[in-house]
Structure 1
Amino acid sequence: MGEHPVIGYLVWAVLFGALFTWEGISLIRTDDAFPTLSDAMRAVMRYPVGRWALFALWLWFGWHTFVRGWHFLLRDGQAPE
C-alpha cells in the first residue's frame, strides 16, 4: 500500500456522490414515484427482519470503520508496534 490510498478515497467520494445525487433527484422530482432514502428505509424497516438486517449492517459497518485494525494499549502486556 502506498502512503496515500487515493483509490480508496475516490471510491468513497463516488459512493457519497451517488448517495447525495439520488437524494437530490428524489427531492426535486416529487411528481415521480422516485423514492427518497427515507422512503426506502421506511419500506425496509416495516418488517422485523428488515430492522435486524439494517442493525446488523450498521454494526458491521461500524466495526470495519472504527474498530478493526486498532492496536489497543497494553494488550497482553506487549508494547504497541
Structure 2
Amino acid sequence: MELRDARIAVNSVAPGFTDTPMTRSAPSEMFSAWEELEPSGKAASPDFIANAISFLCAPATQFVTGQTLFVDGGKSLGGLGI
C-alpha cells in the first residue's frame, strides 16, 4: 500500500522444487526422491519460474498487486498427500 501512489506493484513468485545447479548437487537418489514428491513427478524447469516472473512484469498485469503466484505444479493444492 505504501507504493500505490508511485504505481509500483509488489508481487512475489513462490517456486516449487526446481531443477537448478544447487538441487542437482544432491546425490542423484535424493534428487529422484524429491521429484517423486512432485505432482508431475519431476522438478520444474527454471524456465517455468522465469515465465511466471515475466508474466508479472508484463504491462497487462499492471492492476495485479499484493499477490503471490505459486509456480509449484499444483503441490500447494495438496500434492501427493504424503
- TM-score w.r.t. structure 1 length? 0.26
More helix by share: 1
More strand by share: 2
- TM-score w.r.t. structure 2 length? 0.26
